Structure formats: structure tokens, C-alpha cells
């Protein structure tokens, strides 16, 4: 079991390596250049690929990572609080990833993932959506088409991936997302629906089964 990290700062890379050691994961020397990182993934096929927030503005990077190593779990690790919640969720709304955590949470995150469970970061503890999600108000009003899109979001597919899988346009996917957010009473700006789904993924998948 190994971990590969894409991180431009040596000090952060050392902390990532320390967390990997603590949970017994072999780590590869962190890379700072995306193309070398992806080339290494294709060869090593690590269990985890850790990406720091420095690379969140490059959505194609995440698509290339998934293509190079499909079974690798992609972990976004936030190394500072310089991003506001709204800016953060707007950035990651269309990224392909599996888990998000903060740097102080990394050890616990890796331990949880090793055990085969989903790690619920403190970043997902958002009061504004927790109250609305208790009984999933509006869920019964979702159309079958909206539920299919919702399942795609639960499976952490991007908008284009959902559109391709369902044979609909990306515009239609976006229309369904807007409609679902209204029905589920999910408000809070860009990324709020994605945050809502990640925070309650297991319950939603059970309802969608």
C-alpha cells in the first residue's frame, strides 16, 4: 500500500510523509510537477494520490490522474485556510476526487480510508445544510431524471461524466442540479449541492437504491 503526493512545498511534503509513516503507508517522494506526478502514477498505481490545494484550479489534472491510475483514491488535502468555504466548494465542484481533508486531519483520514470507510472531514460539518438534511425535505419531489443525476453526484462523477452516462447534455445536467437544489432546500452558493451530497452520501445512496 503506497501513497503518492503532489505538493510544491518541502515543509508540507515532510508532514505528509510523516502522516504516511504513522499509519504504515509507503510513500513515494512527493512531486511538485504535475506531468511527472502523473507519469509516476501510471507506473506505480498507488493506493492513494494526495493533491494539495495548490492544484485545485486545474480540473484536467484530476481527470488525468484518474485515467493514469483508475483504482487510486484521490485525496484533496487543504494545507491552509486561505480559501473561504464558498471559494473552496466552487473550485472543487467539478473535480474528480474521492475524499477531502485538512492537513491536521490527514493521519485520521488515511487510517479511515485504509479501513475501507469514508472519511468525513470537519470541512463537511456545515450547519446550514445539516438541519435541512435530517429528513431530506423535498426528496420525494425529485423526478426520476433528477434522481439519476443525483446518483451520479453521489458517485462523485463530474457534470460531463454524468451527461455522457445518461445520454443528456451538460446543460440538462446543470438544469437538474439547479432544480434539485431548490427542491432539497440546499442553499449557500456555488458548490453547496456537492457539499450536501458528500455530507450525506451513504443515506442518499440508500434512498436511491
The x, y and z cell numbers of residue 10, run together, are 518541502
Return the ∠ at Cα 115 (arms to 111 and 119), rounded to 5°: 60
Rounded to whole angstroms, the Cα distance separating 48 from 41 reads 10
How do the pLDDT tens digits run along the chain, 209 residues long? 899 999 999 999 999 999 999 999 999 889 999 999 999 999 999 999 999 999 998 989 999 999 999 999 999 999 988 777 767 877 887 788 999 999 999 999 999 999 999 898 888 764 334 443 445 778 888 888 999 999 999 998 999 999 999 999 999 999 999 999 998 888 777 778 888 888 888 888 888 87
Q: Which domain holds residue 63?
A: 2-124
| Tally of domains in the chain | 2
Q: Do 105 and 160 fall within a single domain?
A: no
Rounded to whole angstroms, the Cα distance separating 4 from 51 reads 9
**Domain stops at, among 124, 150, 182:** 124
* CATH at residue 156: 1.10.10.10
Q: Do 49 and 114 fall within a single domain?
A: yes
Q: Do 132 and 99 fall within a single domain?
A: no
Q: Do 185 and 137 fall within a single domain?
A: yes
Q: What is the pTM of this model?
A: 0.63
User: Residue 191 carries which DSSP code?
Assistant: T
User: Is residue 201 a contact partner of residue 209, using CB atoms and an 8 Å limit?
Assistant: no
Amino acid at each position: 500500500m503506497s501513497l503518492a503526493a503532489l505538493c510544491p512545498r518541502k515543509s508540507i511534503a515532510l508532514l505528509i510523509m510523516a502522516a504516511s509513516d504513522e499509519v504504515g503507508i509507503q510513500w513515494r517522494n512527493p512531486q511538485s510537477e504535475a506531468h511527472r506526478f502523473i507519469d509516476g502514477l501510471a507506473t506505480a498505481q498507488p493506493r492513494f494520490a494526495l493533491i494539495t490545494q495548490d492544484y485545485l484550479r486545474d480540473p484536467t489534472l484530476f481527470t488525468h490522474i484518474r485515467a493514469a491510475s483508475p483504482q487510486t483514491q484521490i485525496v484533496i488535502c487543504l494545507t491552509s485556510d486561505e480559501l473561504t468555504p464558498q471559494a473552496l466548494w466552487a473550485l472543487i465542484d467539478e473535480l474528480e476526487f474521492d475524499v477531502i481533508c485538512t492537513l491536521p486531519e490527514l493521519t485520521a483520514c488515511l487510517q479511515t480510508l485504509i479501513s475501507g470507510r469514508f472519511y468525513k472531514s470537519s470541512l463537511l460539518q456545515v450547519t446550514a445544510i445539516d438541519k435541512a438534511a435530517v429528513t431530506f425535505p423535498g426528496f420525494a419531489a425529485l423526478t426520476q431524471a433528477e434522481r439519476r443525476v443525483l446518483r451520479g453526484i453521489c458517485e462523485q462523477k463530474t457534470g460531463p461524466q454524468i451527461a455522457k452516462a445518461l445520454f443528456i447534455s451538460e446543460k440538462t445536467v446543470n438544469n437538474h442540479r439547479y432544480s434539485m437544489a431548490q427542491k432539497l432546500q440546499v442553499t449557500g452558493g456555488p458548490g453547496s449541492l456537492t457539499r450536501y451530497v458528500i455530507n450525506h452520501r451513504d443515506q442518499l445512496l440508500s434512498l436511491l437504491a
